[in-house]
Amino acid sequence: MSQAVVYANGHVVLGGQRWRAALGRAGVAKRKEEGDGATPAGVLALRRVLYRADRLAIPATSLPREPLGARDGWCDDPTHADYNRAVTLPHPGHAEELWRSDALYDVVGVLGWNDAPVQPGRGSAIFLHVARPDHAPTEGCVAMLLPDLLSLLRAGVTSLLVTTEPMRG
């Protein structure tokens, strides 16, 4: 098991390697709520990796891997029984599309946030995914440039320790 540290100022460190990351537009928060734009602080296990098989090869990782499909979604509706779970679209509750026209979800690490057990309103769809080229803030996820994300997965990461502290030096 390898744990990467994610610092509040957008650095990811695993062993001797360091990468840049985009975090939530509201920064890192110790208390996460649906729609607040914050990346949750704490230890987030990397549950599995989803990927666009039509765009890239199977990512090298020791984690379970699954190709995404055109009808895959993630329920972010705190009033629905499927809240913070993978769903098939169309879905009766509000759900985010995982099959995107941009490249942001070409690789998605499903992070263990608010899933054991799920608590309505505590945040959903917290992923490790591909960053925009300018590292623009996310809605609460951790995002890295595709080559960096693939390198982190290849290095054997199994969890993220997201801290409210900035990286020094």
Of 161, 164, 166, the C-alpha closest to 42 is 161
CATH number of 2-162: 2.40.440
CA distance 31 to 90: 31
Over residues 148-158, the mean pLDDT reads 98
pLDDT at 4 over 90: yes
Q: If pLDDT is split at 50, 70 and 90, which confidence band does 1 have?
A: confident
Please give the mean pLDDT across all residues of the chain. Answer: 97
User: How is the chain split into domains, by residue range?
Assistant: 2-162
Tell me the average pLDDT across 23-36.
Answer: 98
